Amino acid sequence: MRECAPLLSGRDDTLNKPMHRNVMKLDKKLAIARRNQDLGGAVLGVNNTHFAVLDPKRNIWWFDLPVPRLQVGQYEWLHLLLHTPETDQLLHLKVTTVFMRDHMEGLEVRNADKRKPTVSLELSADKDSFLKDMRPKGSNLGFAAFLQK
């Protein structure tokens, strides 16, 4: 995101140069490494972890979770990493796949009858609905109980 100072004159001086916000760019690989360092070991990996950056316009973190990863015998836990670039905050949700399977009716499944179905989550960053799924076809399922320290 860029903000530019208004032009004060036609000269190219320091007052007229664009101002750049210092916004931290974090990708999935770096987020996993950062969280594993906090945890003191290699707990999270690319297959059991999903990453989302806060959408500042809608104030949500959006995930598409592959349905096969939620099935019995795949993973016991799903790790969701939620990044807020403005503050560089990284939240970690450790969600049981049993919880996801038990609440599948209250979640929005995209491409249910296709080759690659996904559970679509829109987790809210708003105070009054913090970490609740806000998908229109969902049941506002809450994920705050899975927030890790």
- Give average pLDDT by consecutive 10-residue segment, the chain, 149 residues: 46 43 78 96 94 97 95 91 96 97 93 89 97 92 97
User: CB atoms < 10 A from the CB of 52, how many?
Assistant: 20
pLDDT tens digit string along 75-87? 899 999 999 999 9
Q: Which two tokens stand for residue 102?
A: 């038990």
Q: How far is CA 73 from CA 44, 100, 136, in A?
A: 18, 14, 30
Quote the pTM value.
0.81
pLDDT digit string, tens, across residues 11-25: 444 444 443 455 568
Taken in order 51, 126, 133, 37, the sign of the CA dihedral is positive
Task: Give 63-72 pLDDT, tens digit per residue.
Answer: 999 999 998 8
Ramachandran class of 130: left when φ > 0, alpha when ψ lies in -120 to 50, beta otherwise: beta
pLDDT of residue 2: 43
